Chains A and B, each alone.
Chain A
Amino acid sequence: MGMIEHKTMDQRRKGSAALDEARLRQQAIGVKLRQMFDDVVSEPVPDEFLDILRRADRATGES
Chain B
Amino acid sequence: MAGEEKSRRETPVDEARDTIFKKELVQLIPHLRAFARTLTGDPTAADDLAQDAMMKAWDARASFQLGTNMKAWTFMILRNQFYSEKRRSWRQSQLDQEAAERTLVAVDDPEAPVALDELRLGLSMLPPEQREALILVGAGGFAYEEAADICGCAVGTVKSRVSRARKALQLILEDGSYDRDGASAGDAMRSILADAERLSTVR
Contact = CB atoms under 8 A, between A and B. Distances in A.
A binds B: yes
Interface in A33-55: 33-43, 45-46, 48-50, 52-53
A53 B30 contact: no
B22 interface: yes
A32 B135 CA distance: 11
Contacts of A1: none
Given A24-B193, A40-B37, A43-B33, A53 B119 contact: no
Contacts of B6: 61
A62 interface: yes
B36 to A, nearest CB: 9
B196 A49 contact: no
A39 B33 CA distance: 11
B47 interface: yes
A48 B9 CA distance: 25
A32 B196 contact: yes
B5 A61 contact: yes
Nearest to A45: B29
Interface in B183-197: 189, 192-193, 195-197
A31 B202 CA distance: 13
A37 B135 contact: yes
A38 B139 CA distance: 8
A14 interface: no
14 contacts: A25-B170, A25-B189, A26-B166, A28-B195, A29-B166, A29-B192, A32-B115, A33-B119, A36-B139, A37-B38, A37-B140, A41-B33, A53-B26, A56-B55
Given A22-B170, A24-B193, A45-B29, 5 more contacts: A29-B138, A32-B119, A32-B195, A38-B139, A60-B18
